[in-house]
Structure 1
Amino acid sequence: MTRKLLLIFLLSFLTASVYAQRAGSGADQVESFARPIEGLPTEGTIFDLPVNLHGQTTYINQRYNAFNSPYQGQNSLLPDKSMSYTWSGTLFFGARVASDTDIYFNPEVVSGVPFSGLTGLGGPTNGEATRAQGAQAHFYSARAFLRQTINQEGGKVELENDANQISQTVSSNRFVITAGQFSTLDIFDDSKYAKDPRVQFMNWGNMTYLSYDYAADARGYSWGLAGEWYRDNWVFRASRMLAPKDPNGRDLNWQIFNSYGDQLEVERQHSIGDLPGKVSVLGYRNRMVMARFTDATNYLIANQAQGTQAILNVRNSAQVKTGIGLNAEQALTKDMGIYMRAFTSDGHTETMAFAEADSSLSVGMGINGERWGRAKDTIGLSAMLNGISSNRRAYLQAGGISNFIGDTPYPYAGPSQSISYKPEQISEVYYNALVIENVLLGLNYQHIMNPAYNAARGPVNVVSFRVHAEF
């Protein structure tokens, strides 16, 4: 990893050129409606180079009481009263090495214990939990990337000082190239109302489309190349990212022409009565060695291997996985807006790097507290509907277990123990209050019907609180 970090910084200096001002990518243009903490004066210069430094720390504690569970399997959400927590800390270093070239580095530390080892739900309840590996703190590089911008003729856009964003003026018509280590979600599927579990909704289904199986390591980051073309109210995005060596694994496969995740996105911004909104369409295509559910189901039956993770035995060739989705959002007033995400994946193969879902729908709204005299407070309300494909369902009903779900009892007694699968339904509401400058306290409630798509278990009621601070 040290060599990779040195390489990205070396590339930053070698590729410095003489174009005009640089532009921010989706990684740092997330204008979070729910974020009560604005950009702070943390910019300066070192050796005459513009630099900035930001940081964040977030603690999330979640609990649920015992819920109905007539049986459980290897990957079931445990039915007894449970507590989960995560803590993260991130530093955001940035430097402008030329007028159009920035480099950024984000060291991060995380500790935490997720519910049931992160199993038993289609839509897990804490977006930070994917990085938690136990009570011991783990340090790693979250991002180390270069951003290059080529400005064209157009109107001027002011980009303010923020994490991974050095302030400057750019053109509304520009190309932006991001290369190095970052998250696919830094560039794609931006949302003003539902994006960041540190300050907004916590559930994975509100971080992005739950069935968007984007390429990443087990912590949600990867290495790759992304391009963005801003044309006034239009944005066109494309990227290729490294895929993990094994589905949901920590190590990445550097054979980028044999194993990868590609995505394309088209976004159209608009205004209705001076109130902003946008619509975007995103599609992805993954390629890596994955199991097909039909092969895994046949293996279960032929080898009487019910109650096992049979997908491990049929990963023998590269598979292609695709999906497409729609994201729309609209401000209704200056302090309230709504959003919707809908996505479907082909459902033939196992999950590559994200959640156990093949279709997903989420709708919700965000409100800030200006109308009751607390403009920095925010409220969010959301409903999610998650589904699985007929191929994934057949595998689970035959007694199979996948990476994160599988309620099949063991020893498996055959079809008499077949599970009634229904869409997973999740409702989520949160309130964030700014308690002191740059520190917020949040409360969150999630109601989960049919956890892991099993109609016989649940409902589950998860109550959470979080503390988030920035500088």
Structure 2
Amino acid sequence: MTRKFYFLFLAVLSGMFGVMLSTSVSAQKAGSGSDQIATFASPIDGINTEGEFLGLPVNLHGQTTYINQRYNNFTSSYSGIRSLSSDKSMSYTWSGTLFFGARIAPNTDVYFNPEVISGVAFSGLSGLGGFTNGEGSKATSSQAKFYSARAFMRHTINQAGDKVVLENEANQITQTVSSNRVVITAGQFSTLDIFDDSRYAKDPRIQFMNWGNMTYLAYDYAADARGYSTGLAGEWYLDHWVLRASRMLAPKSPNGRDLNWQIFNSYGDQVEVERQHHIAQLPGKVSILAYRNQMTLARFTDATNYVIQNNAQGTQAINYVRNNAQIKTGVGIHGEQALTKDLGIYARAFTSDGKTETMSFTEADNSLSVGIGMNGTGWQRPKDSVGIAMMQNGLSSYRRTYLQAGGVSYFIGDYNSPTQTISYSPERIGEIYYNATVIKNVLAGLNFQHVINPAYNAARGPINILSLRVHAEF
């Protein structure tokens, strides 16, 4: 299918859906059912996007997001082949997504999300642990790329319990379910669609932009280079508890575009336990997540030995020492709590074993993030939102030793000369954003990020990054 035909197909299909859709419902996500608490997930009003097509309940949603980021020259004693450029730079991404859904049986839905993206990342997406644009990994050039982001089926098995209404939104047709239920998701989707949900820090299109606020930065979740994978996930809701587990395909090579379909030899497993609660009638939750990856990866001890024995400083030595069936594990905790109906806090902490190279995400072996989210009710702008966060990211002793020996990784590596000693320090990032609803279904916002010790190097930075974001939904 050519790109022009693909675009025409999407336009015609969306037009057909637009003609057939009716019966408006509000586009808010059902959480614990409480309470009109701000979700900070989408301040944009819903429109008529749900109805019937060929006798089936269907819905259609869409989004487009433009993010422009800039920074000025910053201090740098030296730069390597994986360093962030110390010169004044600009980066941008533009994405567009259609969210098609159809209910093919009373408790079974199918969804398809074609997506297009273009953009240019800072320094070819290198030189940071916590990258500053959550859409950056999807954009490889200024030329628009079309692809399938998600194509999956969701089946719900209701059990005894209270009735909960899941209202119309992207990838959710209005549905009444039991508070006690099992949900099975199979197909192409993102691991983060199921795991580590957050009311305040999840979606870089409308909340914090940094990767360390999208999820735990040290969570090396299974995905292709764009952040999607194929697999099977199950969720068991039991009153205030949720148990989640999944197996997802791993890429054929670390951070690669193609997935390895040998699911018993190369995969990412995760399990999460979540406990929801109320304090003074305000919702909150605590969750613990653990993962176990298996694929062909390089051990940092082997890569360090290769650098030293072959005098291979300044090279990506991990490419030459990969072994089959390497295991990587990690565990983290996430908590959040609404303090008022318009203000909430959250925190995430995670650690991975750090013995092997990154499989799918970024260069971090431990991470911590804390922040707050607030709506603008106090200044008569209830659909505006503000967020403030602080992050600290670190590397394991195995990865630090490799870098200090002169090795280079996929995203980082400041090695420059045999006389240079890399000064390791945790990477620290502060982020603040403000979003304003300018017209119906469109918001515009500013984001500022201050990065200390970029790529864990105290000899470089700090960096101040200013971002402009425009986001629209239907």
Normalising by structure 1, what TM-score? 0.93
> Is residue 2:278 matched to residue 1:271?
yes
Q: How does 1:406-445 map to 2 (within 5 A)?
A: 406-409=413-416, 412-413=417-418, 416-445=419-448
Distance of 2:464 and 2:281 partners within structure 1: 39
Partners of 1:432 and 1:254 in 2: CA distance: 41
- Which residue of 443, 446, 451 maps to 1:448? 451
* Maintained 8 Å contact 1:154/1:171: yes
Q: TM-score, normalised on structure 2?
A: 0.92
CA contact (8 A) 2:201 2:214 kept: yes
Alpha-carbon distance in structure 2 between the residues aligned to 1:388 and 1:35? 34
The 2-side partners of 1:34 and 1:383 are apart by 20
Return 385-394 or 37-46, whichever deviates more: 37-46
Q: Which among 183, 189, 195 is matched to residue 182 of structure 1?
A: 189
- What residue is the counterpart of 2:411 in the other structure? 404
2:228 corresponds to 1:217: no
**Which among 342, 346, 365 is matched to residue 335 of structure 1?**
342
SS at match of 1:391: helix
Report the CA distance between 1:168 and its aligned residue.
Answer: 1.6
**Aligned match of 1:260:** 267
Cα distance in 1, alignment partners of residues 379 and 460 from structure 2: 40
What letter matches 1:455 in structure 2? A
SS in 1 for 2:143: strand
Match of 1:466 among 461, 464, 469: 469
Contact 1:127–1:197 (CA under 8 A) maintained in structure 2: yes
Distance apart, 1:35 and its partner CA: 2.1
- Superposition deviation, residue 86 in structure 1: 0.1
What is aligned with 1:125? 132
RMSD: 1.2
Q: Is the 8 A contact 2:250 2:268 kept in 1?
A: yes
Match of 2:169 among 162, 166, 183: 162
Query: Secondary structure in 1 aligned to 2:86?
Result: coil
Structure 2: where are the runs of 5+ without partners?
3-28, 32-37
Please report how far the alpha carbon of residue 125 of structure 1 lies from its aligned counterpart in structure 2 after TM superposition. Answer: 0.3
The answer to whether the 8 A contact 2:45-2:440 is kept is no
Q: Distance in 2 between matches of 1:29 and 1:358?
A: 34
* Counterpart residue identity of residue 431, structure 2: E
Aligned residue pairs total: 442
Aligned-partner residue type, residue 460 of structure 1? I
Contiguous gaps of at least 5 residues in structure 1: 3-27
Moved over 6 A (4+): 28-31
Which residue is equivalent to 2:74? 67
Q: Which of 224, 233, 237 is equivalent to 1:226?
A: 233
- 1:390 CA displacement: 0.3
Aligned mates of 2:347, 2:226 — CA distance in 1: 26
The answer to whether the Cα contact below 8 Å between 2:375 and 2:386 also exists between their aligned partners in 1 is yes
Corresponding position of 1:23: none
Q: What SS class does the counterpart of residue 73 from structure 1 fall into? A: coil
* Alpha-carbon offset, residue 29 of structure 1: 6.3
Sequence identity (%): 74
What is the CA distance between 1:82 and its match in structure 2?
0.1
* Cα distance in structure 1, aligned partners of 2:244 and 2:30: 14
Partner of 2:118: 111
Q: Which residue of 2 aligns with 1:6?
A: none
Whole-angstrom CA distance in 2 between matches of 1:246 and 1:278? 36
Structure 2: distance between partners of 1:142 and 1:317? 28
Q: Report the residue type matching 1:441 in the other structure.
A: A
Residue 206 of structure 2 is matched in structure 1 by 199
* Counterpart residue number, 2:148: 141
Aligned with 2:319 (options 303, 312, 316):
312
Separation in structure 1 between the aligned mates of residue 390 and residue 412 of structure 2, nearest angstrom: 21
Question: What is the CA-CA distance between 1:193 and the residue it aligns to?
Answer: 0.1
CA deviation profile, 1:175-206 (whole Å, cap 9, x unmatched) = 00000000000000000000000000000000
* Structure 1 Cα separation of the partners of residues 119 and 465 of structure 2: 17
- Tell me if structure 2 keeps the 8 A contact 1:60–1:467: yes
Which digits, 9 at most, give the CA deviation of each residue in 1:90-143, with x for residues without a partner?
000000001010000000000000000000001000000010010000000000
Letter in 2 for 1:284: Y
Distance 1:29 1:351, change over 3 A: farther
1:96 paired residue among 103, 113, 118? 103
Alignment of 1:321-332 (within 5 A): 321-332=328-339
Distance 1:464 1:273 in 2: 37
